Structure 1
């Protein structure tokens, strides 16, 4: 208990001679330094609030306005057209006759400064309004490469001019436009167009009748309420999407909602588990410092100066999802000076700051090694406690209220939930290694997706996993943010090897010998508080997940772009071809698209299975001529690109219909059309993981530093989940998931079947060969 005594600032005892006061100057110094760090953060927040509050102007611009106004007044000119005199008349100042001249000059000066401030604020509002108008223009996205319209040619330099100042992370937030509500006629017509290739003629006629009935009657009433919300709320979708899609879900978030990110494919910077943890934790905390200080550059549309909403970064750290009977709640704390660590059934609190100073990577490594060397057994009920976060939400909420609302259990749970993030020191080895690299890669994915179902804390905003052989990974909770935000973080963390390792694989730096031991969390869990039911639910779900990860090396976006085709469209059409050959038909296909061009935007659905893509695949399979295939493929690719752009610019289908459905529930009215639309299964759910910080890794000179990206579980029990990441010019990594319980799906191609089931690799390569062959024949 030495660390407990060090934390006491003073002690006193009452003796017959009086009070004996003993001060601990070391502890008082620690308190002082921690207070200094806290006040520095407060000052930094105030400064950043001022800087981003006046963006795109600067705080110093007030001085130029004030000097300009005073200079014109000195030249006997009134730039305010009488307003300064009006302000002077209302100033609460009184003066005597003897000092009337001096005080009158002082009043004039104050009035001029007040007018300058008002003028300055008016100019800021005007600039911000102009920037918002410019950022509301999205037609540039629909123009073909090299064919820029005159409007866009004028728009580009204006955007550059108003965003030329170096922005903070959140500087653009107040200038981003609000997400528009599409016209209900447009949404209904686009929906019918998206389902046409999936329905027979009688089915399509029935759906058209339902849609027309909805549009002409209930739809307009719901639309009026939705437009009212759009006028009042920052974003008419995001709060309902977060609450009803994520937080109100009562099933397990493990596999169903949470997703994972992988380490480098070929490189492991060190095989020392504690050292990898030391640099990873340090890199995460340095990233958090940049987020808190708003030093990160705002994300932008690749290749442009158009900013993306950064609101999701606010809850990246010190955040947890707490369970409730009806709905969960996201809790976020402004700061946390520790992380929670799990190792072999024990939970620890690891302090990462000492006297206001962030521990060095070597010091964190030393602390992690102490945890690894700790041979104490788990307390009763402690080892599998994390299974509560992996099972159904209602039992976890009830258990939390009954056994974790007071005493040591509450204190220990608070430490986990208030931690900056969660760290698991896994006792297994993972990665693409050994005699079965492909099988080990699949097991690596499953480990990150669900682990042992009790050795991750799935409620935390994200959990970092450090394996015994130095490999790492990440499991992220989905409700607080979408994958691109977490991917941006993870790219920086993978770059943490630049913090450096010694020749024997340890972190660099010195260790302060007086660092206290990591604090073991204490639990008092009654015997009747069993977690076996939650563990059984989670284990059954984990055992049912089939994962397959493979890096596709035959070619990448370089070869695809030579065919003058969008790489994303190419991959989406390949996935539909794979599904068609696997199941003999088409299905509703989900591709995630961001709407972060708008304030607090999250995602929209691209219904990538279109009439055009189905026509191309049908022609390809039926042996049509190359010229016809070329024409249909070009149409399918252009159609997909247009659908993606429409989703990004607020003209999507599914979020609008979702919000109309929520409004109908609030009004207590039923819509057969909306009910059927919202119940349609997404048997092919896809997502691209973007590489956002391409400057971090030079893949040409260092081809081994390839990220595998990440993946997620299948959305439908009889469907597939497919995540892919386009790495460099010559590689695409795929993550495919399905469920063993469905006899019609298989993530891993079965070589003993007559046909390879969902063999994306085969179909992707075959489609590329077909397109390349057409190109060589100069049809494209």
Structure 2
């Protein structure tokens, strides 16, 4: 048996190919991403600070927000510039997010940026079976690449969904060039952006994934390639290998499958599975660390022209109220249930706002980039302690569903943080939690255990409420 690890290098800045432009021209136009209302954005920003900073810090930030929003002030001018940018660009946010997240981030792509996908275990008798599976897997990836590059291929893949195709055209053939003060991105047909590792026998159980046998086709015998590197380059390669080994060894990954229930359970109570899981995660973190932390959940904005992604702020005042009450023996089950519902509804509202283009962090990033590009002084609002705390993402989360029994994993965004990826099905939930060994404050296995306990406790709370109604 094997477990397959597919390692995907995150696509970065690239130009749209001619085929992309032709597809976009013939497809129904997608709406442009709206510019968020500045006052509403900062009101939501202040709400997101409530569970993270003390009252004095919050009051200080409120004063900074008031000064920033005063008539004729810096906020008004920056908002005017942002509207002008939106009028003259395809998407006012995407290029800046790519630049800040991928191009200006000089940390190694593995762990820090690139996700990995662990596919289901496979069975084979010898190395030939392992090689056969690896070949078929590579063929499948190349078939996907061919669909992307063929006219109408994306329409077939999407089955009628109206999503922006821009990211797909960057999915293959993009890489970040290191060694420069400001990274460049090369587009080259031989650039490699995907790595597939087919491992040896693991003592795991699971369904087979090999497709049916196909007729054999004679192909030329492989030819071994020899590379002649000068000693200096060999030294750099060896140093890079050692650094990568250290980084990988420091990453603590804990994956588990939670069998008690899946997406169907919260849906019975009119709760979105994603926001339900996020609320349970907040409870798990609070039980482990005694407080909430800055948490983001990545969401897709591909419903907009050239939309890419943004983040939802998940640590809300409602979440704090619920997690504080959950283990309080003085609180009745009815009150705990009410607070749970409020926390889930608050999370759902925050998610919908981002999906509608009303992101707090996207807007703040745009205002900061406008200051940098125009030479304006950075507002004090974005240099105070509250902003630093609220953007130090100790919980980096996401939800990636798949019809296959697989799970995505990635590293934390900060040294003292976690990443948590959910892959829910109808009747179970697969979760991958990661942290760094070098941080004594975090522990992937302990958070995994706490999360499973939180899922079971919230499940019991909801079931008891239904029993009382019956």
Q: Taking structure 2 as the reference length, what is the TM-score of the superposition?
A: 0.86
The answer on whether the counterparts of 2:293 and 2:315 sit within 8 Å (CA) in structure 1 is yes
Partner of 2:318: 612
Structure-2 separation of matches of 1:275 and 1:544: 32
Structure-2 separation of matches of 1:238 and 1:757: 33
Q: Is 1:517 aligned to residue 222 of structure 2?
A: yes
Give deviations 1:486-521, integer Å, cap 9, x for gaps.
Answer: xxxxxxxx99733x23xxxxxx322426x1433414
Partner of 2:44: 190
Distance 1:564 1:49, change over 3 A: closer
Q: Which residues of structure 1 form unaligned runs of 5+?
A: 1-44, 56-170, 337-417, 420-459, 472-493, 502-507, 695-705, 750-755
Partner of 1:650: 357
Among 177, 180, 185, the alignment partner of 1:322 is 177
Q: Which has the higher contact order (CA 8 A, sep 6+)?
A: 2
The answer on whether the counterparts of 1:684 and 1:719 sit within 8 Å (CA) in structure 2 is yes
Partner of 1:625: 332
Structure-2 separation of matches of 1:552 and 1:644: 24
The answer on whether the counterparts of 1:563 and 1:772 sit within 8 Å (CA) in structure 2 is no
Among 268, 287, 297, the alignment partner of 1:591 is 297
Partner of 1:213: 67
Q: Is 1:292 aligned to residue 3 of structure 2?
A: no
Q: Which residues of structure 2 form unaligned runs of 5+?
A: 1-17
For residue 251 of structure 1, report the CA deviation from its aligned partner.
Answer: 2.2
For residue 329 of structure 1, report the CA deviation from its aligned partner.
Answer: 2.4
For residue 538 of structure 1, report the CA deviation from its aligned partner.
Answer: 2.8
Partner of 1:35: none
Distance 1:308 1:470, change over 3 A: farther
For residue 619 of structure 1, report the CA deviation from its aligned partner.
Answer: 1.8
Structure-1 separation of matches of 2:215 and 2:50: 63
Q: Is 1:277 aligned to residue 134 of structure 2?
A: yes
Q: Is 1:763 aligned to residue 462 of structure 2?
A: no
Structure-1 separation of matches of 2:314 and 2:380: 25
Partner of 1:565: 271
Q: How does 1:150-229 map to 2 (within 5 A)?
A: 171-172=27-28, 175-216=29-70, 217-229=73-85
Give 3-state SS (helix, strand or coil) of 1:538's partner. helix
Q: Taking structure 1 as the reference length, what is the TM-score of the superposition?
A: 0.53
The answer on whether the counterparts of 1:551 and 1:732 sit within 8 Å (CA) in structure 2 is yes
For residue 246 of structure 1, report the CA deviation from its aligned partner.
Answer: 0.8
For residue 759 of structure 1, report the CA deviation from its aligned partner.
Answer: 2.2
Give 3-state SS (helix, strand or coil) of 1:590's partner. strand
For residue 758 of structure 1, report the CA deviation from its aligned partner.
Answer: 5.6
Partner of 2:262: 556
Distance 1:550 1:224, change over 3 A: same
Distance 1:308 1:768, change over 3 A: same
Q: Is 1:671 aligned to residue 369 of structure 2?
A: no
The answer on whether the counterparts of 1:544 and 1:740 sit within 8 Å (CA) in structure 2 is yes
Partner of 1:697: none
Structure-2 separation of matches of 1:570 and 1:748: 21
For residue 563 of structure 1, report the CA deviation from its aligned partner.
Answer: 2.7
For residue 50 of structure 1, report the CA deviation from its aligned partner.
Answer: 6.5
Structure-1 separation of matches of 2:22 and 2:31: 21
Structure of higher CA gyration radius: 1
Structure-2 separation of matches of 1:253 and 1:617: 35
Structure-2 separation of matches of 1:710 and 1:463: 14
How many residue pairs get aligned? The number is: 440
